[in-house]
């Protein structure tokens, strides 16, 4: 399973990414695939490995306000993930598993669940991820040495370069270079499978956890100052900023929560660049996601609690970054040559698909996704 982090489906083509395009064109492709919900990197990776939505897995976003600790923190601890993963379930059935995750927080949340694990190294400063060449070296080395039944790989360069691309065009050469390189790395992995005789027995699932949107420097949404100007809300609202989404938490008296949330919604929807506001339950998110979830429009980004808090123009976590590549290649007899123009394959479908490959029964309560083989 290869996750090309932050890749848009329209970025895969014969000229720039020929190896990825070949996998897509000769396998099962889902051109209407989506990330679900649009709530950042960690939840989508968790949905891939659990097959259930965040209200059941316990991971609604990258960052939340912890009401007990009274701080905004990342959900990157192994204990934050409460639902059994296909990794741990396969291990119990006697299979072996491996994780090769380029980002430190992904390595953190999946912890010691896999049989074999690679800790990202070297990790670049600021981005907190290992370059794709080192990540693929580790993935190939793991297959050659241990040959796990399931290997889960995250390739992070496309996402990290995407965040630094000022408009999606100004630094387009850097973005294209990252895409070309990830294509080379995926090609290396496919070549290993073919040269070692594993291809005929392999299913290779390729997707992104989300795509990417870009905002201009003047298109920022900062809700914290607006709340501080309101007598009802001042000093009583905490915000966990997730790029394309703000999670809003009322911290005042419980008996004023309903009125306060209504006021938060009113103020948020009046701000330029805001797309919509939702109760977390309406998005199948747990109570960790706060009292109100607010999405920004395409071409905008949230920056809270101040306008300088989020200087990164590349952005995701909102509906504009829902479309993703999602296709299944490999030489295994389960893989068919077809394109499904109607099925909306989603990140939550990965675990059921993996389960189908290995004959794994559904978890207690069933999956929220569907097998795509």
The CATH number linked to 92 is 3.40.720.10
3-state SS, residue 195 = helix
Average the pLDDT over each of 27-36, 118-127, 287-296 and give the range with the smallest value. Answer: 118-127
- Give the integer Cα–Cα distance in Å for 241 and 61: 10
Q: How many C-beta atoms surround the C-beta of residue 145 within 10 A?
A: 10
Q: Which of 107, 110, 156 is nearest to 129 (CA)?
A: 156
| Residue 363 domain-assigned (yes or no) | no
Residue 218 has pLDDT above 70, yes or no: yes
Question: Same domain, yes or no, for 270 and 305?
Answer: yes
Identify the pLDDT of residue 167: 55
- Number of domain units in the chain: 2
Average pLDDT, the chain: 94
Q: Which of 211, 242, 214, 225 is nearest to 310 (CA)?
A: 242
Write the pLDDT tens digit of every residue in 236-261.
999 999 999 999 999 999 999 999 99
Could you tell me the pTM of the whole model? Answer: 0.95
Question: Same domain, yes or no, for 275 and 328?
Answer: no
Residue 174 has pLDDT above 90, yes or no: no
| Residue 368 domain-assigned (yes or no) | no
Peptide bond before residue 318 is cis, with ω within 30 degrees of 0: no
Residue 208 has pLDDT above 70, yes or no: yes
| Residue 349 domain-assigned (yes or no) | yes
Write the pLDDT tens digit of every residue in 112-158.
999 999 999 999 887 889 999 999 999 999 999 999 999 999 999 99
Question: Same domain, yes or no, for 203 and 266?
Answer: no
- Give the integer Cα–Cα distance in Å for 297 and 278: 14
- The stretches of the chain forming alpha helices (DSSP H) are 18-25, 41-50, 54-57, 86-92, 104-110, 132-145, 157-164, 172-195, 224-228, 257-269, 350-358
- Confidence tier at 160 by pLDDT (50, 70, 90): confident
Identify the pLDDT of residue 171: 59
Average pLDDT over residues 32-54: 91
**Residue-number span of the structural domain to which 262 is assigned:** 220-315
| Residue 244 domain-assigned (yes or no) | yes
Question: Same domain, yes or no, for 159 and 16?
Answer: yes
Question: Same domain, yes or no, for 263 and 128?
Answer: no
Question: Same domain, yes or no, for 57 and 11?
Answer: yes
| Residue 20 domain-assigned (yes or no) | yes
| Residue 242 domain-assigned (yes or no) | yes
Residue 165 has pLDDT above 90, yes or no: no
Question: Same domain, yes or no, for 297 and 207?
Answer: no
End-to-end CA distance of the chain: 14
DSSP state of 210: -
Identify the pLDDT of residue 161: 84
Question: Same domain, yes or no, for 311 and 326?
Answer: no
Identify the pLDDT of residue 38: 64
Question: Same domain, yes or no, for 152 and 267?
Answer: no
Question: Same domain, yes or no, for 275 and 183?
Answer: no
Last residue of a domain, one of 280, 298, 315: 315
| Residue 364 domain-assigned (yes or no) | no
Q: Are strands 63-66 and 71-74 parallel, antiparallel or unpaired?
A: antiparallel
Question: Same domain, yes or no, for 202 and 293?
Answer: no
Question: Same domain, yes or no, for 120 and 24?
Answer: yes
| Residue 255 domain-assigned (yes or no) | yes
Write the pLDDT tens digit of every residue in 308-345.
899 888 899 999 999 999 999 999 999 999 999 888 99
The CATH number linked to 266 is 3.30.1360.110
For 205, list phi and psi in degrees, rounded to 5: -100, 125
């Amino acid at each position: 399973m290869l996750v090309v982090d932050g890749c848009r489906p329209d970025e895969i083509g014969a000229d720039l990414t020929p190896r990825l395009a070949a996998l897509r064109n000769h396998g099962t492709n889902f051109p209407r695939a989506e990330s679900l919900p649009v709530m950042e990197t960690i939840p989508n990776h968790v949905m891939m490995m659990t097959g259930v939505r965040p209200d059941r897995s316990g991971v609604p976003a990258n960052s939340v306000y912890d009401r007990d600790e009274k701080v905004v923190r990342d959900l990157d601890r192994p204990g934050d993930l409460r639902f059994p993963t296909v990794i741990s379930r396969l291990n119990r059935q006697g299979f072996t598993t491996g994780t090769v995750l380029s980002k430190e927080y992904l390595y953190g949340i999946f912890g010691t669940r896999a049989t074999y694990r690679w800790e990202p190294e070297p990790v670049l400063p600021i981005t907190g991820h290992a370059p794709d060449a080192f990540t693929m070296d580790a993935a190939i080395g793991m297959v050659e040495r241990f040959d796990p039944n399931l290997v889960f790989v995250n390739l992070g360069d496309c996402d990290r370069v995407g965040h630094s691309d000022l408009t999606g065009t100004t630094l387009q050469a850097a973005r294209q270079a990252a895409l070309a390189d990830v294509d080379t790395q995926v090609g290396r992995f496919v070549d290993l499978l073919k040269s070692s005789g594993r291809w005929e027995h392999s299913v290779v699932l390729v997707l992104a956890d989300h795509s990417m949107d870009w905002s201009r420097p003047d298109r920022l949404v900062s809700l914290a100052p607006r709340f501080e100007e309101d007598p009802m809300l001042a000093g009583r609202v905490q915000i966990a900023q997730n790029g394309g989404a703000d999670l809003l938490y009322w911290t005042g008296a419980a008996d004023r929560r309903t009125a306060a949330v209504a006021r938060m919604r009113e103020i948020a929807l009046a701000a330029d660049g805001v797309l919509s506001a939702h109760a977390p339950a309406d998005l199948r998110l747990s109570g960790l996601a706060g009292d109100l979830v607010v999405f920004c429009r395409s071409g905008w980004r949230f920056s809270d609690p101040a306008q300088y808090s989020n200087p990164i123009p590349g952005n995701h976590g909102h509906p504009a970054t829902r479309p993703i590549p999602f296709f299944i290649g490999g030489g295994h007899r389960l893989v068919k040559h077809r394109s499904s123009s109607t099925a909306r394959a989603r990140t939550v479908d990965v675990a059921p698909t993996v389960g189908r490959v290995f004959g794994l029964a559904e978890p207690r309560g069933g999956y929220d996704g569907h097998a795509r083989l």
